[in-house]
Every structure is written in C-alpha cells, then in structure tokens.
Amino acid sequence: MTKEKISIVKIGGNIIEDENALKQFLQLFSKLAGKKILIHGGGKRATQFASKLGIASKMIDGRRITDKETLEVITMVYAGLVNKKIVAQLQALQTNAIGLTGADINTIQSEKRPVKEIDFGFVGEVKHVNHHGIDTLMTAGFTPVFCALTHDGNGQLLNTNADTIASQVAIGMSKIYTTTLYYCFELKGVLNDFEDKESVIQKIDSKTYKELLHTGTISAGMLPKLENCFDALQMGVAEVRIGNTSLFSEENNLFTSIAL
C-alpha cells in the first residue's frame, strides 16, 4: 500500500528575523498540500533578549552554552514569543497550527549532552520521537509547529539543535508516511562558492559530499546540516531538499537535492 506523503520543514533563523521573509514563507507553507510539520529555532532573538536582561551569550564553534539563566531566556523566546507569533500568523492563513516543545505530549525526548572537553550545559541530544503522538495531532487536523526545545523525561527542558530535531522528526514520521525533509533558509541552496550566491550545487550524494569536504567547499554551519540530511536518508526519509522559500514554488528547480 502506498504511504501518504508528509512534509517536514525546518525554517532558518534569518527568515524568522526578517518580517517580510517570514510572512512570505508562512504563506507558502500554508499552501503546501497534505500533512506538514514546521520546526524553528530563534537563536538570534534569544541572544538579543539575553543581552537586554544582562545575560551574556556564550558560543563555542557556533553552539550555544546553555546555563540555567540562558535556558530560561530560550524557553521564553523559542516556546513563547517566536512560536506563538508563527502559530498566530498560520491561523490567519487558515492553517490550524499548534505550537509545541518536545515535552508536549512527550513528543521528543532527549538526554543531556555528556560533558567532554566542553560542558554545553542544558543541551539535549534527541533519543526518541513519539511519532504516534504527533500523528494523533495531525489526524485530528492540527499542523504541529515545534520550537527547538526537548525534554529528558524527568522534568528538565533541554535546548536542542533545530536542524537535528527536523531530521529526527522526519525519521520518526517516515515510519508512517513517505517523508520529504526541507531545510529552508535565506540562500538558494548549498553553494560551490559562498561569495557567489547563484553557485548552487543542485545535487549532493555521498561521493560528492566527500569530495566537497576534501576541497573545503563545505565547512562551518553547513557541515552539521548535511550530516543531519544524510542521517535522515539512511534512516528512511524519502527526500531531502535545501534552499530558500522558492523551494515550494512549482516553477523553481534551483535548490540542493541530497541523495545517498
């Protein structure tokens, strides 16, 4: 029997910060056919609010150190301000969205990242996605909107990478649906030359990926994103795409498709 299709979409921080870009994205997302799930972060907004409260943001290799005070700010910003603004805008677009953390109906459990050279604090590594619980919401007609917070099952919220949440949710939902994972951000795709925003690499498979790593074409923030992409494909996700909001346009074919 052919599985029903589902779209898992992760939205990048620069789109969240740009009111017009966010509005355009949400209009396109609301028109996506079939069942769909949205995942977002909000790190830049959290940094701004932490600064206003006199809380210094500590980053190592682009990853946030999450102490108790920082976790409180992240919870307020991710699960409150950003999530509810997105949900309200989707309601205006006749998409019956429901805002969630991974703690809600026990959808995403994580464990605290082990302390090695660096103690990242209250940062989670996803261990389990309750795909049946998520599916119950969708079957009832809701569109889940997850922020980048999970929980450990013992009452502790954990700051968790939104790209990883998207990948793990897509893997979970692929047990029920034919799943497409979209990473939507401000660029048209993975670039061959970062200075040339039109130099989109249209297809990356395992072999191409190794070559791009060897030449240093892919580095920094794109590395963990692509690792999540390949992890998702290896674990049953049907298709992964990376690009900007035109990913969802019928006319667009300029984006990066990831394949094994």
Quick: pLDDT tens for 92-138: 999 999 999 999 999 999 999 998 888 899 999 999 999 999 999 99
Q: Is residue 75 part of a domain?
A: yes
Q: Is residue 207 part of a domain?
A: no
| Strand ranges for the chain from DSSP E | 5-11, 35-40, 58-60, 63-65, 97-100, 108-112, 124-129, 143-146, 149-151, 157-159, 178-184, 203-204, 239-243, 256-258
Q: pLDDT higher for 174 or 219?
A: 174
Q: Is residue 223 part of a domain?
A: no
Q: Is residue 141 part of a domain?
A: yes
CA-to-CA distance for 234 and 238, rounded, in angstroms?
9
Dihedral over alpha carbons 205, 208, 209, 214 (to 10 degrees): 170
Quote the mean pLDDT of the chain. Answer: 93
Is residue 154 very low, low, confident or very high in pLDDT (cuts 50, 70, 90)? very high
Percent of the chain whose predicted confidence (pLDDT) is above 90: 73
pLDDT at 84: 98
Q: Is residue 52 part of a domain?
A: yes
**For the chain, how many structural domains are there in total?**
1
Q: Is residue 254 part of a domain?
A: no
Q: pLDDT higher for 45 or 97?
A: 97
Is residue 78 very low, low, confident or very high in pLDDT (cuts 50, 70, 90)? very high
Q: Is residue 201 part of a domain?
A: no
> What domain range is 60 assigned to?
5-186+237-249
State which amino acid sits at residue 61: D
Contact between residue 39 and residue 146 where contact means Cβ atoms under 8 Å apart: yes
Q: Is residue 202 part of a domain?
A: no
CATH assignment of the domain containing 35: 3.40.1160.10
Which residues are within 8 A (CB) of 172 and not within 5 positions of it... i.e. 6 or more apart? Answer: 129, 130, 131, 134
Q: Is 147 helix (H, G, I), strand (E, B) or coil?
A: coil
Instruction: Look up the pTM and report it.
Output: 0.95
